[in-house]
Amino acid sequence: MQSLFTRLSRLNHRQSRLTIFSMIAGLSFAILLALSFSTTEAKPKIGQLPKESVANHQLRTLDGQQFSLAGLRGKVVVLDFFAVWCGHSRQHIPTMLKFGDAEKEGVLQIVGLAVKDSESTEERVRKFIQEMKITYPVGMIADPEFSNYVESKDVSVPQTLIYARNGRLAAHFSGHDDKTAAEIAATINRELVK
């Protein structure tokens, strides 16, 4: 009799552990699913035109130029959001510098946008431009405007938006590593030959 009771007790203990494990796994899956939906919804819409307020917003660069996405239609446009203090931004800049010839030909426009914060004064951004030997125009942008462009509250840097000649968003990249750099270069090259 005791051995039957002991067996039942062990079985109930195993079932309890299995039930608890199943509940934890289910809860983890639900959290991951919710996070993936919120990330997907926050990403800008690939293949769509930007909102009119974003398309017509005037981006001012430190050298006095003004750009808007609407005004640049007909060119491939790259908006590159970065921060002067960000190591990944520093690693990311050389990827953008590979396209100087296409810019000179007038078929590509890269605009660097330093995200404004306490460390990103105009003087520090100018110094960053010199240090990194940036040849494309650079402006400064506040978080609310940055959020409007990326259609997300995620204002981590670097982030890169690539627009096709027709003004539609071709790609959106967050962060920087070798794979991202290769994908950015491939996307720009693909859009340039269209």
CB 40 within 8 A of CB 32: no
73 vs 16, 50, 70, 123, 173, CA distance in Å? 62, 12, 6, 31, 21
52-192 CATH fold:
Glutaredoxin (3.40.30)
pTM (two decimals): 0.76
Res 154: pLDDT: 82
**What pLDDT does 9 receive?**
55
Low-confidence spans in the chain with pLDDT less than 70: 1-44
The pLDDT of residue 152 is 84
